[in-house]
Amino acid sequence: MASLIQLDELSTTQTERCTDCDSDKKIESKQDSQVQRQRSMKRCIESLSHAVQCKQTNCINRSCFRYKRVIQHTKHCKGKNSQCNVCKQMIFLCWYHAKHCMKGNCQVPFCTSLKIKIQKQREMHSQKDKSSMEAMIPLESDEDDDMK
């Protein structure tokens, strides 16, 4: 079952390793690798979105059946998602989808709940940033008083 989605290819870097490469080539290679990962993630998310909406049992899309099986696995997995690598990969893919999803009633598994969590995290970070900024302002005014 773990071979259903090979998301591990997303984490591999394809930087060239040779002794006479200059730093520009390494930077370009790193950027190419990032672009490849982004494209791969986009394809995975498109396949997942297709599989969620597809009602055909014999769909011609190569990845449709595979993603449908992964979705079913995730729904019925006994590992409770934290111990199962297939579930971990699926949740990561859904999280990545949810970060960018603008649909109000999205059918991708976990999307709605993940969007809520992501929004709460953003609010919490925003609040921390605001608190940090407010904490800095009195320090600056105290320094101004000391200079007078």
Q: Which CATH superfamily is domain 7-110 in?
A: TAZ domain (1.20.1020.10)
Q: What percent of the chain has pLDDT over 90?
A: 43
- pLDDT, position 30: 72
**pLDDT tens-digit readout, 65-102:** 999 999 999 888 887 657 889 999 999 999 999 999 99
Top pLDDT among 59 and 128 is at: 59
Domain residue ranges of the chain, discontinuous segments joined by +: 7-110
- pLDDT, position 1: 38
Q: What is the mean pLDDT of the chain?
A: 77
133: Cβ contacts below 8 Å, ≥ 6 apart: none
- pLDDT, position 2: 40
- pLDDT, position 129: 73
Residue whose entry in the numeric block shows the structure tokens 């999205």: 106
pLDDT at residue 42 above 80? yes
Q: Which of 91, 71, 72, 96 is nearest to 81 (CA)?
A: 91
**pLDDT tens-digit readout, 3-34:** 344 443 333 333 333 444 455 556 667 778 88
Top pLDDT among 134 and 80 is at: 134
SS3 sequence of the chain:
CCCCCCHHHHHCCCCCCCCCCCHHHHHHHHHHHHHHHHHHHHHHHHHHHHHHHCCCCCCCCHHHHHHHHHHHHHHHCCCCCCCCHHHHHHHHHHHHHHHHCCCCCCCCCCHHHHHHHHHHHHHHHHHHHHHHHHHHHHHHHHHHHHHC
- pLDDT, position 8: 37
